C-alpha cells in the first residue's frame, strides 16, 4: 500500500479573509479531510507558537500548503529557514495565491516573486491547462472558468518554471502564469494562483481537484536522505567499497 501523505495547511491568520469567516486553512482542510491519499492532516497559523511549524511538525509533514497575504513580513526568518531546509530535503510545498509574495517563496526561488500586476475587479478568469498528461492536471478539462477572481497579470517575476502547468486569461485582458512547478534540492514546489480571499474559489470542485492532485505530485517518494550539512561520499569511495 502506498504511504499516506501527511499534509499541513498553513494560513497567516484566522478570520481575516472576507469570504472565509472560518479561515482559508479551515476551508481547505474541510475538502481535504476525506482525501484517501492523505494521512495526518493539520492546520497551522501565524499566531501559534513557532507559527505552528515546529521542527517536529515539519519533520512529520510531507506536503505543506502556504496561504499568506497581509502578514508576510511577520513570519519569523528562523521559521522560514526551517521550512526552506525541509523543502531542500524533499518536503513538497504548494504556494497558493498571494503566497507568491511570501518570504519562503522568494527565498526558494531567489527573485522578487512579489512583483506582478494585480487588480481587484472581479474579472472572469479562465485557467488554461497547457501541461496535459501530468499528475497535477489529471481528470481536469482544458480549462477551469472562475466566474469572479482577482486579476493577476504578467510580468510575474519568477525564474523560468520547470513546468508551466497553466496560463490564466482574464476578461480584462491580462494573462498570467497561474500554475508553475519548480524543483529546489530534493523538494518540489507548485505555485497555483486562483484563491483570492473575497470569492469562495476553494469551494469549486475543479479547483479542489487541482490541489488534491498537486498534493499527490510533490510528496516524497523515497530518495537518498542526505542531511543538509552532510557531505556525500566521494564516487571513488563508493566504488572502492562496492568492489572490495
Residues that bind Zn ion (CB under 5 A): 98, 150, 196
| Residue 82: CB minimum distance to Zn ion, A | 26
Integer Cα distance of 11 and 26 in angstroms? 9
Q: Which is nearer to Zn ion, 12 or 150 (CB)?
A: 150
Integer Cα distance of 46 and 48 in angstroms? 6
Q: Which is nearer to Zn ion, 58 or 101 (CB)?
A: 101
Sign of CA dihedral 89, 34, 167, 101: negative
| Residue 118: CB minimum distance to Zn ion, A | 8
Q: Which is nearer to Zn ion, 37 or 148 (CB)?
A: 148
Q: Which is nearer to Zn ion, 51 or 196 (CB)?
A: 196
| Residue 102: CB minimum distance to Zn ion, A | 13
| Residue 229: CB minimum distance to Zn ion, A | 38
Q: Which is nearer to Zn ion, 98 or 166 (CB)?
A: 98
Q: Strand 38-45 vs strand 143-153: parallel, antiparallel, or unpaired?
A: unpaired
Q: Measuring CA to CA, which residue among 163, 168, 159, 169 is closest to residue 214? A: 163
| Residue 143: CB minimum distance to Zn ion, A | 20
Integer Cα distance of 202 and 31 in angstroms? 9
Integer Cα distance of 53 and 43 in angstroms? 10
Cβ-count burial 62-84 (b if 16+ within 10 Å, e if not): bbbbbbbbeebeebeeebbebbb
Count Cβ atoms below 10 Å from residue 26 Cβ, excluding itself: 17
Q: Which is nearer to Zn ion, 122 or 185 (CB)?
A: 122
Integer Cα distance of 2 and 22 in angstroms? 32
By beta-carbon distance, which residue lies closest to Zn ion? 196
Q: Measuring CA to CA, which residue among 155, 150, 158 is closest to residue 118? A: 150
Q: Which is nearer to Zn ion, 98 or 168 (CB)?
A: 98
| Residue 97: CB minimum distance to Zn ion, A | 6
Strands (E), the chain: 5-11, 38-45, 63-67, 92-96, 117-129, 143-153, 163-170, 175-184, 187-192
| Residue 216: CB minimum distance to Zn ion, A | 26
Amino acid at each position: 500500500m502506498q504511504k499516506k501523505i501527511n499534509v499541513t495547511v498553513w494560513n497567516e491568520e484566522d478570520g481575516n479573509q472576507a469570504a472565509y469567516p472560518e479561515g482559508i486553512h479551515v476551508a481547505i482542510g474541510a475538502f481535504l479531510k476525506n482525501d484517501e491519499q492523505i494521512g495526518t492532516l493539520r492546520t497551522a497559523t501565524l499566531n501559534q507558537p513557532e507559527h505552528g511549524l515546529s521542527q517536529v511538525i515539519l519533520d512529520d509533514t510531507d506536503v505543506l500548503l502556504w496561504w499568506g497575504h497581509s502578514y508576510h513580513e511577520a513570519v519569523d526568518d528562523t521559521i522560514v529557514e526551517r521550512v526552506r531546509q525541509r523543502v531542500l530535503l524533499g518536503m513538497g510545498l504548494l504556494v497558493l495565491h498571494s503566497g507568491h509574495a511570501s518570504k519562503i517563496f522568494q527565498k526558494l526561488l531567489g527573485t522578487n516573486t512579489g512583483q506582478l500586476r494585480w487588480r481587484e475587479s472581479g474579472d472572469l478568469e479562465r485557467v488554461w491547462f497547457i501541461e496535459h498528461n501530468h499528475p497535477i492536471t489529471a481528470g481536469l478539462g482544458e480549462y477551469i472558468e472562475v466566474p469572479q477572481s482577482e486579476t493577476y497579470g504578467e510580468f510575474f517575476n519568477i525564474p523560468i518554471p520547470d513546468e508551466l502547468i497553466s496560463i490564466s486569461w482574464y476578461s480584462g485582458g491580462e494573462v498570467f502564469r497561474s500554475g508553475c512547478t519548480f524543483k529546489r534540492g530534493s523538494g518540489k514546489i507548485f505555485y497555483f494562483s486562483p484563491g483570492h480571499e473575497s470569492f469562495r474559489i476553494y469551494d469549486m470542485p475543479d479547483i479542489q481537484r487541482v490541489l488534491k492532485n498537486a498534493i499527490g505530485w510533490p510528496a516524497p517518494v523515497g530518495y537518498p536522505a542526505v542531511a543538509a550539512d552532510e557531505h556525500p561520499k566521494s564516487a571513488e569511495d563508493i566504488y572502492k567499497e562496492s568492489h572490495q
